[in-house]
Structure 1
Amino acid sequence: MKCNPDLSDAPIDFSSFVISLSSSVLISLGEIPNPDTDETMVDVCLAKQTIQILEMLQEKTRGNLNDGEQELIDSILFDLRFKYVQHVKKTSH
């Protein structure tokens, strides 16, 4: 697998890490295609596990983030939880 030259030198910080995990959830829910294969897949268990990892990060970093980082993780988790519940409801009928 080749590295994206635009990303290989990009600095990794808390926000980019959270966004990367968020993208993984969206891929696992079939919301966006996998960038490596350009295929859509669904793995609800992986999506749930990644959301739980983000929740753990939110809890463990509480009080140590700047306002922008805190707002980012809070809003991303809100959106991902909503998408997860919507997906589970849609597929359980």
Structure 2
Amino acid sequence: MNNEEKGYTIKDKRFSAISEEEKRQDSDTKNYKKEDDSSSKNKDIPLPEINFATFILSLTSSAMLHFGDIADPVSGKKERNLTIAKQTIDMIDMLREKTKGNLTKDEEALVENTLYELKIRYVKESSKGM
């Protein structure tokens, strides 16, 4: 007697789970391609060289964003968050400590000047809130 004669229906759940997973992956891939297409508009803009100086400048830009100087790229709003600005300053300070003796004179000067400016700015901004 085969399965049809007994009235049993065999359903392989593994197959449907795999196909659901494949569907999710396909939709993720499509979403990624859409994002990739939108970024192709920016292909004409040359990216800066990646080095220690650009990394420090990137962290500085992040601090400026949290001081409220720069609009958030996602929301378009200027929002002030001194806690995150301080955390960014602390990260740069940690990098200064961890890279001591391994930086060029220019890199050392960049880190020192950046930290000085950001710390002074933080003190001014935090005193405004009082």
Same-fold status (TM-score > 0.5)? yes
Paired residues, what number? 91
- Correspondent of 1:32 among 66, 70, 84: 70
| Structure having the larger proportion of residues in helix | 2
TM-score by length of 2: 0.63
Deviation at 1:11, TM superposition (A): 2.3
Taking only aligned residues, the RMSD between alpha carbons, in angstroms, comes to 1.8
**1:74 maps to 2:119:** no
Deviation, 1:36, is 4.2
Alignment correspondent of 1:63: 101
Task: Tell me which of the two structures has the higher relative contact order, counting C-alpha pairs closer than 8 angstroms and 6 or more residues apart.
Answer: 1
Identity %: 34
The within-5 A match list for 1:8-19 is: 9-19=47-57
The answer to whether the aligner puts 1:89 opposite 2:89 as a matched pair is no
**1:30-78: CA deviation from partner (whole Å, max 9, x where unpaired):** 1222244432011111101111100000000011100110000000000
Larger radius of gyration: 2
